[in-house]
Amino acid sequence: MHFEFEIEAGDFSNAGYASSQIKKILKQLNLPNNVVKKAVVALFESEVNVIGHSFGGTVAIDVENDRLHILVSDTGPGIEDVDLAMSEGYSTATKEIQEMGFGAGMGLPNIKKNTDYLDIRSQAGDHTEIEMLIHFNQESAKDRQS
Amino acid sequence: MKPLPFHHALKVKEDVCFGCTRCMMICPTGAIRINRGKAHVNPDRCVDCGNCMEVCPVNAIVIEQDDFQKIYRYKYRVAVVPSVMIGQFKEEITEEQIYSILMELGFTHVYEAEFGSDILHEISGRYTTYADRSPVISTFCPAIVRLIQVRFPSLVQHLNLIKPPLDITAAYAAQQLIENGARAQEIGIFYVTPCAAKIAAIKSPQGESKSGFDGVINMDFLFNLVHKTIVKQKHKENDTIPQQRNLSGEAVVWSLTMGEAPHMPGRSLAVDGIHNVIEFLEKLENEEIHGIDFLELRACDEGCAGGILGSGNRFLTAERLRHRAESMDGISSHVKQEIQAQGEYLRHNLKLERIEARSIVKLDDNFQTAMEKMEQIQDLLKKLPHVDCGTCGSPSCEALAQDIVQGKADLSRCIFYQRRQELLDSRHAKTNLERMIKVWGREKLEGS
DSSP string computed for B178-227: HHTT--GGGEEEEEEESSHHHHHHHHS-SSSSS-S-SEEEEHHHHHHHHH
> What is the amino acid identity at position B386?
H
Query: CA–CA separation, A97 vs A52, rounded Å?
Result: 7
Q: Using a CB-CB distance cutoff of 8 angstroms, which residues of chain A are in contact with residue B368?
A: 65
What's the structural domain count of chain B? Answer: 3
Question: How many whole angstroms separate alpha carbon B8 and alpha carbon B330?
Answer: 36
pLDDT of res. B223: 93
Residues of B in contact with A31 (CB under 8 A): 367
The verdict on B288 touching A (C-beta cutoff 8 Å) is: yes
Of B16 and A54, the structure prediction assigns the larger pLDDT to: B16
**Alpha carbon distance A90, A79 (integer Å):** 12
Helices and strands, counts by H and E, chain B: 18, 11
Same domain, B173 and B258: yes
Mean pLDDT of B80-86: 93
Please answer yes or no on whether A30 and B370 come within 8 Å at the CB atom: yes
Q: Are residues B263 and B298 in the same domain?
A: yes
pLDDT of residue B241: 63
pTM for this structure? 0.89
The rounded distance, in Å, linking the Cα atoms of B250 and B119 is: 12
Percentage, residues of chain B above pLDDT 90:
70
**Range(s) of the domain holding residue B96:** 68-348
**Among A95-109, A116-130, B247-261, which is the least confidently predicted range?**
A95-109
DSSP state of B265: S
CB contact under 8 A, A1 and B365: no
Which residue type occupies B428?
A: H
The whole-number pLDDT of residue B138 equals 96
CB contact under 8 A, B363 and A29: yes
pLDDT of residue B237: 61
* Closest to B209 in 3D by CA, of B50, B45, B356, B10: B356
Residues B72 and B48 reside in one and the same domain: no
Range of the domain at A8: 2-145
Instruction: Report chain A's mean pLDDT, rounded to a whole number.
Output: 83
Lowest model confidence (mean pLDDT) among A93-107, B162-176, B281-295, B391-405: A93-107
Q: Are residue B57 and residue B165 in the same domain, yes or no?
A: no
Domain boundary residue among B315, B348, B381?
B348
- CATH number, domain of A128, equals 3.30.565.10
Q: How confident is the model at residue A81 (pLDDT cuts 50, 70, 90)?
A: confident
Whether the CB-CB separation of B144 and B117 falls below 8 Å is answered with: no
> What was the pLDDT predicted at A94?
75
Same domain, B72 and B57: no
CA angle at B367 for the pair B362 and B368, rounded to the nearest 5°: 125
Contact present, B130 and B162 (Cβ < 8 Å): yes
The confidence band for A141, taking pLDDT boundaries of 50, 70 and 90, is very low
The letter for the amino acid at B133 is R
Quote the pLDDT of residue B305: 95
For B424, counting Cβ atoms within 10 Å of its Cβ (0-12 exposed, 13-18 middle, 19+ buried), the class is exposed
Considering the domain architecture, whether residues B413 and B264 belong to the same structural domain is answered as no
Q: Give the pLDDT of residue B233.
A: 75
How confident is the model over A14-26, as pLDDT tens digits? 888 888 888 999 9
Omega before residue B135 within 30° of 0, cis: yes
Residue B1 pLDDT more than 50?
no
Is pLDDT of A144 > 70?
no
pLDDT band at B5, cuts 50/70/90? low
Looking at B287, B321, B348, the residue that finishes a domain is B348
Domain-terminating residue out of B62, B80, B96 = B62
Q: Which residue has the higher pLDDT, B41 or A111?
A: B41
The DSSP bridge pattern shows strands B38-41 and A128-135 to be: unpaired
- Taking the C-alpha atoms of residue B444 and residue B374, their distance in angstroms, rounded to an integer, is 34
Taking all residues of chain B, what is their mean pLDDT, rounded to a whole number? 91
Q: Contacts of residue A41 in chain B, CB cutoff 8 Å? A: 286-287
Judged against a pLDDT cut of 90, whether residue B416 lies above it is answered with yes
CA atoms of B139 and B162, how far apart (whole Å): 8
How many structural domains comprise chain A?
1
The residue in chain B having the minimum alpha-carbon distance to the alpha carbon of residue A34 is: B154
From chain B, pick out residues whose CB is under 8 angstroms from the CB of A20: 282, 286
Q: What is the DSSP string of B377-419?
A: HHHHHHHS------TTSSSSHHHHHHHHHTTS--GGGSHHHHH
Note whether B339 and B423 are same-domain residues: no
* pLDDT greater than 90 at residue B401: yes
Alpha-carbon B201 to chain mean position: 8
pLDDT at A138 over 70: no
Identity of the residue numbered B266: G
Whether residue B341 is found in the same domain as residue B442: no
Q: Do residues B252 and B340 share a domain?
A: yes
Interface confidence: ipTM more than 0.85: no
Amino acid, res. B310: G
Same domain for B275 and B406, yes or no, is no
Closest by Cα among B249, B272, B247, B275 to B112 = B247
Q: If you average pLDDT over residues B411-417, what whole number do you get?
A: 94
Band of pLDDT at residue A140, cut at 50, 70 and 90 = very low
Amino acid at B285: E
Whether B357 and B149 have beta carbons less than 8 Å apart is answered as yes
> Average pLDDT in the B259-277 region?
94
Q: Which burial class, exposed, middle or buried, applies to B90 when counting CB atoms under 10 A from its CB (0-12, 13-18, 19+)?
A: exposed
Q: Which residues of A touch B30 (CB under 8 A)?
A: none
Is B359's Cβ below 8 Å from some Cβ in A? yes
Cβ contact B220:B196 at 8 Å: no
> What's the whole-number mean pLDDT along residues B97-113?
92
Beta strands across the sheet bearing B76-81:
B109-112, B76-81, B187-193, B215-218
Number of Cβ pairs < 8 A linking chain A and chain B: 55
CA A31 remoteness from chain centre: 19
Q: What SS3 state is found at A70?
A: strand
Calpha distance B82→A139 (Å, rounded): 49
Query: Is B4 part of a structural domain of the chain?
Result: no
A30 in contact with chain B, both atoms CB, cutoff 8 A: yes
